[in-house]
Amino acid sequence: MASASATLLKSSPIIDKSEWIKGQNLRHPSVCFVRSHPTSAAFAVRASSYADELVKTAKTVASPGRGILAMDESNATCGKRLASIGLENTEANRQAYRTLLVSAPGLGDYISGAILFEETLYQSTIDGKKMVDVLVEQKIVPGIKVDKGLVPLPGSNNESWCQGLDGLSSRTAAYYQQGARFAKWRTVVSIPNGPSALAVKEAAWGLARYAAISQDSGLVPIVEPEILLDGDHGIDRTFEVAQKVWAEVFFYLAENNVMFEGILLKPSMVTPGAECKDKATPQQVADYTLKLLHRRIPPAVPGIMFLSGGQSEVEATLNLNAMNQSPNPWHVSFSYARALQNTCLKTWGGRPENVKAAQDALLVRAKANSLAQLGKYTGEGESEEAKKGMFVKGYVY
C-alpha cells in the first residue's frame, strides 16, 4: 500500500501557479488497480488526481510562523458580531468588515490561509476587487466553510450532528473553480451530554465522508472535531473523551481512503471545562494536548491548526506557544476566529476612520500567534481586552 501511494503521488500532475489562481479544473479522478499477489483478489486504491496539489496546498497552509484566519462566520453569526458594536446586519456592513480583514497590510506574513463563508468567496471588497484575489495577492490561500451547520441528533442525549453532505460534491467543485483550495467542516462533541457512542460515531463518519469528497474536488479538508468547552469537568475527562473521538475520526478517515498528507486537523486543545474550578496552566494544556497528538495523530498529517473555542486572545496564544517549546512531528499552529478578531472588531466599531487602527490590532494578534507557532511568544505588552475570556455557554456557531 505504501509503495502504491508513493507511486500515485509521483505520477500525479503538478498544477502551476497560473492554474492555481484561475481555479481551472484540468484533471479527472483516477482509479489505480493493485494486485498484491497473482492469486489474490484485486482491490481498488482510490487516488484523487489532485494528490500532488493537495499535498502542496496543505504544506503551504502549514508553513513556519503562519496559521489560519477563520472568518467563516455565517451571516447570522456575523450579525451577532456586528450587533456587539452597534451595527445592523447588512451585506454592506459584512462586506466592509471582511474587506478590513483581508486587506490588512502584511497579513500574509503571519496568516497562510483564510476560511471564508460562501458569501465572502463570491464577494468583492468595497473597492471592487474580488476577496479571493486580494487574499492570493497577500500569499494567503483561500478556503471555504462547506458544512451546513448543526442540528439535533435523534436518538442521542440532546446532542447534535452536522449536515451538509447532500450536494457537497457539486458544491466543492464549484468552490474550487471560484479559487478556494481548502475546505472546513466543523462538528462538535459535548462532554456534559455524554458524549454518546452514537454522537461520536456520527461526528467521525461525517468528517470522513466530507474529507473524501473534498479531496476528490481538489480541496484540502480541514477536519474539525471540536470538544466543546461547556461543562465543569477536569482536564483528565477532556483527555479521555478526546482520545475516543480522535480514534474514531482517524479510523473512518482511513476507511474512506482519505490521504492523510492532504488534510489538516483543527482540534480543540485539551483543557478543563470552562466551568471547572481547577484551571490549567499553559504548560499543563501543552502536556496533555501533545500527549494526545502523539497517541492519535499520524505524522503524515502536515498541520494541526488549533481552534480557540472561547479562550481569551492571550490564553489561546500562550497555550499555543507552550506547545511549540520543542520540535513536533507536525506543524502545530492556529486557526482562530474570535481569538484573532475580537479586539480588531471592537477597535473598528463600524467607523471608516478606525479601519487602520483595527487592522493594526488584527496584525498584533496575528503576529503574536505567529511568534507562538515558533515558540517565541512572551506575552509582554498585552492589553486587558485581549485577556478577557470569550466563552459562551451553549454557543451556537
Cα separation of 172 and 63, whole Å?
Answer: 24
Q: Is residue 24 part of a domain?
A: no
Q: Is residue 29 part of a domain?
A: no
Q: Which of 159, 266, 313, 315 is catalytic?
A: 266
* Amino acid letter, residue 172: T
Contact, 65 vs 111, CB < 8 A? no
| Pairing mode of beta strands 220-227, 182-189 | parallel
Print pLDDT tens along the chain (397 aa).
444 444 434 333 334 434 444 444 434 444 444 444 444 445 444 556 899 999 999 999 999 999 999 999 888 889 899 999 999 999 999 999 999 999 999 999 999 999 999 999 999 999 999 999 999 999 999 999 999 999 999 999 999 999 999 999 999 999 999 999 999 999 999 999 989 999 999 999 999 999 999 999 999 999 999 999 899 999 999 999 999 999 999 999 999 999 999 999 999 999 999 899 999 999 999 999 999 999 999 999 999 999 987 788 899 999 999 999 999 999 999 999 989 999 999 999 999 999 999 999 999 999 999 999 999 998 776 656 555 554 445 545 4
Q: Is residue 162 part of a domain?
A: yes
Q: Is residue 396 part of a domain?
A: no
Question: Total domain count for the chain?
Answer: 1
Domain CATH number, residue 165 = 3.20.20.70
Cα separation of 176 and 172, whole Å?
Answer: 6
Q: Which of 73, 118, 159, 224 is catalytic?
A: 224
Contact, 111 vs 142, CB < 8 A? no
Cα separation of 370 and 106, whole Å?
Answer: 13
If you search the block for the grid coordinates 508513493, which residue do you land on?
Answer: 6
Contact, 59 vs 52, CB < 8 A? no
Q: Does residue 17 carry a catalytic annotation?
A: no
Cα separation of 163 and 154, whole Å?
Answer: 13
How many other C-beta atoms can be found within 10 angstroms of the C-beta atom of residue 28?
7
Q: Is residue 191 part of a domain?
A: yes
Q: Is residue 382 part of a domain?
A: no
Environment class of 355 (CB within 10 Å of its CB; exposed 0-12, middle 13-18, buried 19+)? middle
How many other C-beta atoms can be found within 10 angstroms of the C-beta atom of residue 208?
23
* Cα→Cα distances 4→41, 45, 157, 218, 307, Å: 16, 8, 43, 20, 34
Q: Model pTM? A: 0.84
Q: Is residue 45 part of a domain?
A: no
| Torsion angles phi and psi, residue 395, rounded to 5 | -60, 130
Q: Does residue 279 carry a catalytic annotation?
A: no
Give the domain extent around 246: 50-377
Q: Is residue 207 part of a domain?
A: yes
If you search the block for the grid coordinates 450536494, which residue do you land on?
Answer: 167
How many other C-beta atoms can be found within 10 angstroms of the C-beta atom of residue 395?
15
Residue from 60, 53, 57, 46 nearest 14 by CA: 53
Q: Peptide bond preceding 195: is omega within 30 degrees of 0, i.e. cis?
A: yes
If you search the block for the grid coordinates 462532554, which residue do you land on?
Answer: 191
Cα separation of 358 and 343, whole Å?
Answer: 8
Contact, 8 vs 261, CB < 8 A? no
Cα separation of 103 and 140, whole Å?
Answer: 11
